[in-house]
Amino acid sequence: MKFLAILIILVVGGTAVIGPQALFVVDETQIGIVTRFGEAIRSMEEPGLYGKSPFIEKVIYLDKRLLVFDAPPDSLLTKDKKRLIIDVYARGRIVDPIKFVNSVATEGRGAARAIEIISSELRREIGLDDQSEIIRTNREDIMNKVRVAVEPKLEEFGIEIVDVRIKRADFPVEIATSVHERMKAERQRIANRERSEGARTDAEVRADVDKQATIIRSAAQRDADIIRGCGEADAIRVFATSLEQDPEFYTFQRSLEAYGKYLTQNATLVGSAGDLGKLFEEIRESVVLASAAPAHVLEAAAGASVLANRCGQLDAEDGARRVLGNQLTASGAALVLFSSEEVEWGDSSLGCPQEGQSYAQVITPGFRFTFDHDAEIYRVHTNIDGTEAVVCTE
């Protein structure tokens, strides 16, 4: 019985000691590599419980997922002898675990070797392109070329490269400063150009507004002078008409006004009756001479009909401006009068007959106006007083 108990104890104890050395577990994210005296002899890529020879065999675990080979930023020389700080990384996986372990042993050493190969190929590709091309256009092409170039080299280590990416391509600090200054100068130049163009546009707009304001003021002053002249012409006409109706009564009235002005209340006259008679006679003769219409008044009265025509033309012009302004949805003051002409139209169409319409065959006096608006010329025909106006088109 003692012998049986000792044998049971030895079996149980041996199993407890040898079991951890003979069995191992492979996780679903891992690859198990069994090595014998440092050399990989078999791999287990499926998860589960596996066995090995105790003491003489060991297990190395590798990650079966995508690995990231992140190279440190490096200063590389381009084809045009300029430097760029390139930061690159690659992604790949271990596809031949036995070859990987026999060539590089560990993941750390494998990643370091992959980074060396990728950096070397990247340096060679960067040296074939200009700096501006790398930054602007050729980055994708460079990454594809590097990936194709490193694929066979990494296959020797049991690594399959999936992708190569450039995280950033920056200028060195000293170059970045100069580039920044050039960018500032360029933006300043653009800003100055925009300001100068804005100032030029402002000057053009102000000049155009000043011109329009001057035209409007001139037109308003012209119209005011014409209206004032029309009023004065009416006053002269009334004055001349009153003289023609009863010159003696007008002279008598003016004499009384002169007496009232010179002989104010409580006035004292010293002299003989003959002297007073002579004084009154001189006053009367002066009033007669003063009451006579002066030459310029008679001339103005003679030209009153001409001025009356001009006053009628002003009314016609206002009517033409109103009709054309409504058609152009513009202010009448914004229309610049180019020319005006007094005409007689052969019928009531005012010289602009519409197709399919009939007009009274009667001589219609009026005006032909030509206006300028936004560099476009417009013709407007009116009757004599501007109550009828039509915009003519060719």
For the chain, domains (ranges, CATH) are 2-63 (no CATH), 67-170 (3.30.479.30), 246-302 (no CATH), 306-392 (no CATH)
Between CA 346 and CA 361 the distance in angstroms is: 7
pLDDT of residue 1: 47
pLDDT 10s per residue in the chain (394 long)? 454 444 444 334 444 444 567 899 988 888 888 988 888 888 888 888 998 888 888 998 998 899 999 988 888 888 888 888 888 999 999 999 999 998 888 888 999 999 999 999 988 888 888 887 887 778 888 889 999 999 999 999 999 999 999 888 877 777 767 778 888 999 999 999 999 999 999 999 999 888 888 878 887 887 788 788 878 877 777 777 776 676 666 666 666 666 666 666 666 666 555 555 566 666 666 655 655 555 554 454 444 444 455 676 778 888 888 888 888 887 766 788 888 888 888 888 888 888 888 888 888 888 999 988 888 888 999 988 888 888 887 6
The pTM for the full model equals 0.43
pLDDT of residue 151: 92
Phi, psi of 169 (to 5 degrees): -135, 100
Q: How far is CA 97 from the centre of its chain?
A: 62
Between CA 85 and CA 131 the distance in angstroms is: 11
Between CA 138 and CA 200 the distance in angstroms is: 42
pLDDT of residue 252: 66
Between CA 117 and CA 157 the distance in angstroms is: 11
Where helices occur in 23-73 by DSSP H, the ranges are none
Name the pairing type of β-strands 67-70 and 39-44.
unpaired
Q: Are 134 and 78 in contact (CB under 8 A)?
A: yes
pLDDT of residue 356: 80
b/e map 24-44, b = 16+ CB within 10 Å: bebeeebbbbbbeeeebeebb
Phi, psi of 327 (to 5 degrees): -70, -35
Of 342, 305, 341, residue with least CA distance to 230: 305
pLDDT of residue 130: 83
